[in-house]
Structure 1
Amino acid sequence: MDPDIRAFLWYVDGKAAEGAFVQALDTEVKAIKQHKETRREYMTLAMELKRQRQFGREEGREEGREEGRQEERLKMILAMLRKGFSVESIAECVQTSVEYIMELGKKNHLL
């Protein structure tokens, strides 16, 4: 393995900086850590990423639940149409419009 790459990997693993490239990198990392504005930007970015991951998962779960509810609702409407329920009764039961039920019925060749 190339000595510079080995030194870099050791540095990333928390070992002492060895070699000219890794020492220069270490000097730059230390300078950036001391720069208050860069540190603040990094912390703000880290907090925003954490928030997005947290809320992104929750939003994704809720979207998945809503899709599941819509799918079950559609299955129920189609089953009721197959059983011969009136469009008006179905619309009332699932709390939707008669037009929507008619559209689904036609689309699925049930009306």
Structure 2
Amino acid sequence: MIKNKLIKARKEKYTQESMAKILHMTQSQYQRREKGEIKISDDEWERMAKALDTTVDDIKEEDIPQSIINNYDNSSGSYFPHINNNYSIPEFILKNMEDYINLLKNQIEELKEEIRSLKS
């Protein structure tokens, strides 16, 4: 999960590179923490808050994984209700899902109209 509160606070004072130096890590390691690819430890949250002259509560966002359950065996197409394969859905997809669904609906309507015009 992207750490938007942390990013906003950090951008007011530092670049990713300078924040990484303060935390004694590479810019890449720091960036992966902001993106939510690497879990931020409690100690790191404390050090970030201190560097940003704020509180942990003001910058910390908990990782709340959004997931879907796939109960299909993709090799055979069979349904197995007793098997749960959980997949994390990246937050950027969740945020843009409604826009994407509306885009697809519009494209479907355009295709239906095109088919109607070909039939007439």
Q: What's the TM-score bracket when you normalise by the shorter of the two chains?
A: 0.3 to 0.5
Give the helix-richer structure, 1 or 2.
1
Give the strand-richer structure, 1 or 2.
2
Higher relative contact order (CA 8 A, sep 6+): 2
Answer with 1 or 2: which has the greater Rg. Answer: 1
